[in-house]
Amino acid sequence: MNITILYGSETGTAQDVAEQIWKSAKRKGLKSNVSAMDDYDIRNLDSEKIVVFVAATTGQGDPPNNMRQFWRFLLRKNLPTMLLANLKYGILGLGDSSYQKFNFAAKKLNRRLMQLGARELLPIGLADDQHDLGIDAVIDPWLEELWMKVANTFNVCTTDLICNQNNIIERFHVSEISKNSMNNECSWVNDIFMSEISTNNEVKVGTITENTRTTTEDHFQDVRLIKFRSDNVNYQPGDIVYVRPRNSKKQVERFFNILSDNNVHLNPDMLIQVSEKEIKVPTVLKQILTLRQIVEQYWDLNFIPRRSTMKVLSFISENELEKEKLHEFTTASGQEELYSYINRPRRNILELLTDFPNTTSKLNVKLLFEIMSPIKPRAFSIASSLKVTPNEIHLLVAVVKYKTKLFEPRYGLCSNWLANLTVGEKIIFWIQKGTFKFDYNKPMILIGPGTGVAPFRSVLLDRSASDDDLRDCILFFGCRNKNKDYHCKDDFEYLSQKKHLNLFCAFSRDQEHKIYVQHIIRAEKQLCWEFLSGNGNIYLAGNSKNMPNCVREEFVNLTKEMTESTEEEAENFVRQLENQNRYQIETWG
């Protein structure tokens, strides 16, 4: 029996989980193969016995890019209703409950497979990135149930057969290449992802033209308006940019120092060749690279270790105390301990290796490929308009830095990398459709506190380029202080004064009592209701913590008051706006 594992992912997380399931199957001696859904020959689907799907959700419940072709095929109306009658399947959804359409891609896939006659091997698993333990809180028990169902349904053994150091399951062949065997004409690129440009027309190179702080120096948060140029870029307001950051030089040196201090002496300039073993090798690793390039540009040194990381380390550890603790982290009873050690303080992979020196001393290059995680691309809303600044892209980026109980502050990998880019430096990026679908023919209510205002700067600049009148647009912006963190103030005040934009700001700390965007919406309820009565749309972007629910509640109250309706009737009205795509949100944790 063969288990096919298919994934759909925008950033690579679903691929990581799919490979984790593949490793789990290998440990049990089961045959399995893993691939992206769009790389799979879908003509074989009706002959499969068991398929495990790992599906992430993007935007407003959309399937990720490498799942869309597969999804379009399943939606064909001419498919027989019992096409997949012989298929048993399991679906693991990866999502974020701060989004309204939580795990929609996985849920829609589940419904469609049932419509085509397939049968659930076990109930759908809905992993939530907002959980204290992250997605592992759902993945681990779901996997246990998967193997139990496989054993009972297909009468096969699902007991782990491989559980020691000598049988670590490696995804790739990893070898060191002698410099003497290299062609002298081989040239080393500064950015290893340049190789993607020749194979993917969507990937482009930009040149930084401006990197300006939009908050005052004495403000607690550093926010940047970053501008870069690139030929032949094409985007619409609401679209997003993906970028791949690099680790800082300080973190890279720290990585090598940790290994060296624990008697793992690896030359940063050693040449590494990665070739296929059983898992498809990522495009970027198909070229010969130095270990330093891989550490700087491919592995995420800020990675928060997961339970699967602990499992590999527990296999190789020969120190009794360290091995016992690492093993405890992999057990169901040890999850509270794992949360307290890893998730609560946001302890990263380098700190883990420092805390377990005897285990770290057993590492080598091959094992590093099994415990390190690739840097995931980060998404940012585009804050500019091609009509105003041709061949330019602007990003509004909050630099992430915060304290935990650990001595060292936590730093966001991508935001800090972006903040340190200087004029003339290059950035590799690609553009994708965002979640917002702006309708220029209808009144707009835009709500964007903090950096959530980025997509609304884009749409307002875009409209202003061909329309002198923005009277049918309202912008609710919120920040702490008018004089400290009013992002893009000049742009919005110009649009208000010259283009008649209805601009309302909530400066929460400029008076004794805090004022937030929902309070300003309440004060402008008459204007908001006029816009909604005129078939207007609501667009909201920002942090997912409290603001989206507070704003939604305000629109329910506003509807109730303006129409003298009941709570239930007002709630139904707002829900109808959401169902009709007239109330769109884009939030992040």
- Is 256 among the annotated ligand-binding positions? no
The whole-angstrom separation of Cα 479 and Cα 534 is 29
Q: Is 100 annotated as a binding residue?
A: yes
413 among annotated binding-site residues:
yes
* 381 in a labelled binding site: yes
Judge whether 248 is annotated as a binding position: no
Q: Confirm whether residue 58 is marked as ligand binding.
A: yes
Answer yes or no: is 238 a known binding residue: no
Asked whether residue 102 is marked as a ligand-binding residue, the answer is: yes
Cα(553)–Cα(574) distance, integer angstroms: 9
Strand partners, 474: 445, 502
Is 103 annotated to bind ligand?
yes
Mapped onto helix, strand or coil, the DSSP state of residue 203 is coil
9 is in an annotated binding site: yes
Q: Is 97 annotated as a binding residue?
A: yes
Asked whether residue 577 is marked as a ligand-binding residue, the answer is no
Is position 10 annotated in a ligand binding site?
A: yes
Q: CA-CA distances (angstroms) from residue 499 to 215, 403, 441, 467, 490?
A: 25, 42, 17, 8, 13
Q: Comparing C-alpha atoms, which of 465, 536, 534 is closest to residue 499?
A: 465
Comparing CA positions, the residue from 264, 254, 342 lying closest to residue 303 is 342
587 is in an annotated binding site: no
11 is an annotated ligand-binding site residue: yes
> Is 134 one of the annotated binding-site residues?
no
Q: Residue 414, annotated ligand binder? A: yes
* Residue 412 annotated as lining a ligand binding site: yes
Q: Is 26 annotated as a binding residue?
A: no
Contact 280, 35 (CB under 8 A): yes
**Residue 87 among known ligand-binding residues:** no
**360 appears as a binding residue in the annotation:** no
Token output for 110: 């589940």
Query: Token digits for 275?
Result: 């070739």
188 is in an annotated binding site: no
Dihedral through CA 66, CA 67, CA 69, CA 73, nearest 10?
A: 160
The response to whether 59 counts as a known ligand-binding position is: yes
Cβ–Cβ under 8 Å, residues 14 and 94:
yes
Q: Is position 40 annotated in a ligand binding site?
A: no
Q: Is 14 annotated as a binding residue?
A: yes
Query: Was 534 annotated as part of a binding site?
Result: no
419 is in an annotated binding site: no
60 annotated as ligand-binding: no
The answer to whether 516 is a known ligand-binding residue is yes
How many angstroms separate the CA atoms of 220 and 118, rounded?
A: 54
DSSP 286-312: GS-EEHHHHHHHTB-TT----HHHHHH
What residues are paired with 174 via a beta bridge? 274
Does 340 belong to an annotated binding site?
no
379 marked ligand binding residue = yes
96 is in an annotated binding site: yes
DSSP 483-520: TTS-TTHHHHHHHHHHH--EEEEEETTSSSS---HHHH
Residue 517 marked as a ligand binder: yes
Q: Rounded distance, CA 395 to CA 245, Å?
A: 14
Q: Is 367 left (phi over 0), alpha (psi -120 to 50) or beta?
A: alpha
Annotated binding site for FAD: 346, 378-381, 412-415, 588
Annotated binding site for FMN: 9-14, 56-59, 94-103, 129
Annotated binding site for NADP(+): 451, 508-509, 514-518
Annotated binding site: 9-14, 56-59, 94-103, 129, 346, 378-381, 412-415, 451, 508-509, 514-518, 588
